[in-house]
Structures are given as C-alpha cells and as structure tokens.
Chains A and B, each alone.
Chain A
Amino acid sequence: MSLDRIGAAYQPYLLSLFRFVTGLLFFHYGVAKLFKFPPVEIFEDVTPFSLWGVAGMFELVFGAMLMLGLLTRLAAFILSGEMAFAYFIEHFPHSFFPLLNEGALAIMFCFSCLYLASAGGGPLSLDALLRIEPRLQPDVSRT
C-alpha cells in the first residue's frame, strides 16, 4: 500500500505538474498556429482572425494562464469548452470513432480541463501564491 501513501502525500503537487503540462501543450499549439513555430504544414495558412487563428489565441493566452496557474478554474473551463467545440466542428463530421477522426487528443484536452476547472491549480500556482482564488484543495484522494 506504499503507493497509496505516497500518492496521498504528493497528490496536490502532482496536480500542479499536470496543470503545467496541459497548459504547455495548449501553449505549444497556440504558438504553432499564430507564430508558426515550430513550422507545421497544416498551420501554414492560418491567419490570426480565422477560426483556427482565434482558437490559437485562446490556446496561447489560456494555455499560458494554465502553465502559470493564474485563474486556473476560469482558464480551464474556457479551454474545456473550446475543445468540445473543436471536436464537434473539426473532428466529429469525419467519423464517429475518435481513432478515425483524429479527435482523441481534443477529447482528452476537453476532459483534462474539465477536471482542472473542478480541482483548481494545486499548491504550485500563482492562484495559491497570490491567493486570488480561495485556496480550496478538495481532498480527492480520500474517497
């Protein structure tokens, strides 16, 4: 049962790590869409005010906020909604199966952000540092 013990002790910090990585992946997409770094073929023709460009702005701004843990719940909630739209606009029309419509990543982002919106950013975040949000740490491991 040592895994349970270690898990219970370090879970809040892992929440912050998870939040950072999720934010980093969003940020990665935002930078690629708007600033073409790294150069990705399908993002070459994306202009800032197209549908994809606006999605890129969301990912850039709210992805950065997730990385920093600034207003985590708000940023995560918005990104969760964005990914739900992305799935149904871009992926779902191609096929029912996520494996065939390549929307598995969008689904995973959507649900990860849904969780972050409910759990907050953890102790290693600007929210915790600046006490912007109540430092609510739901004890999710004690269920």
Chain B
Amino acid sequence: MNVDSLLAAWAPRVLSIVRIMIALMLLQHPTAKFFGIPHVAFFDHLPMLSIYMIAGVIELVGGIAFLLGFYTRTVAFLLSGHLAFAYFIGLAPKGFFPLLNGGESAVLFCFIFLYYAFVGGGSWSLDAALGPRSLDAVLRQADRAHAL
C-alpha cells in the first residue's frame, strides 16, 4: 500500500477524529458554565439569561450533535455562525489582531466549522452509520450538476 492510497483511505477517518476533538474543545465551555467541570471562577455568578448562558446552550446542544456527527453539516453551519458572532461581538472590539483581542481560537473554530458544513462528518459519525438518507443519490446529483 503506497502513501497516496493510505492517505486516501485515512483522510475521512482523520476527519472524524478531528471532529471529535474539536467537539470536545467546544463542549468544555458549556460544561464549565453549567456544571462547573472544570471550575472557572469567571463563570461562577453569570445570570441565567446573559449572553454567555444563551451561547452556552447553543454550544452544549451543538457540541453534542457535532461530537456524535449527527446532522453534521447543519450543526456545523450553525456553530460556524455562532462563533463568527462571538468574534465580532465579544472579541473584535478589543483589537484588530486576533493575538491582541484573544480571538485566535474563535477564528479557528469558526473556519473549522465552516469546513465541516461543507465536508460532512467523515467515516465515523452517526450520519455515516445511519447511512442511507440516499446521500449517495444526492452526491451523484451534485456531481452531475457540477459537470454541467
């Protein structure tokens, strides 16, 4: 097996591994906000309907769906928009450069989710396991549309 075919076989699996890690990195924020795991002092006394908590609900639900690879494209699209808002509301006012406004991870999250909105969840995902939804038919149709 040469390197190219090895990579071709593994790229969709690595896609799923990366998806799981990114989901865990996102999920640590809502677990800290709602359950105190891990404990972060800044999140201690946030009022329930503050923008942080509403963001937390989006992150919790979206993060779990993304972790499992359930409706990956739709969820990733919503999370990408969520992070774009977070960047421009919370971080961009503090400075133009991501290094100065602390927004590097928001930027990276946003573009990772944007990519997943297009690529889907990879081999190891509920989307792939639940299979049919005639995804292949949809993709063949897309290929034809692209060829035209």
**A12 to B: closest C-beta gap in Å:** 9
Q: CA separation between A4 and B138, bound complex, in Å?
A: 7
Q: CA separation between A95 and B37, bound complex, in Å?
A: 13
Q: Is the interface of A mostly helix, strand, loop or mixed?
A: helix
Residues of A within 8 A of B107 (CB): 21, 25
**A43 to B: closest C-beta gap in Å:** 9
- Do A107 and B21 have beta carbons less than 8 Å apart? yes
How big is the A interface, by class? 35 or more
Q: Is the interface of B mostly helix, strand, loop or mixed?
A: helix
A–B Cβ pairs within 8 angstroms, 20 of them: A3-B73, A4-B142, A7-B117, A7-B119, A14-B118, A32-B99, A95-B38, A97-B38, A99-B29, A100-B40, A105-B105, A105-B108, A109-B108, A114-B17, A118-B10, A119-B14, A136-B4, A140-B122, A141-B119, A142-B136
A residues touching B (Cβ–Cβ < 8 Å)? 1, 3-11, 14-15, 17-18, 21-22, 25, 28-29, 32, 38, 40, 73, 95, 97-100, 104-105, 107-109, 111-112, 114-115, 118-120, 134, 136, 138, 140-143
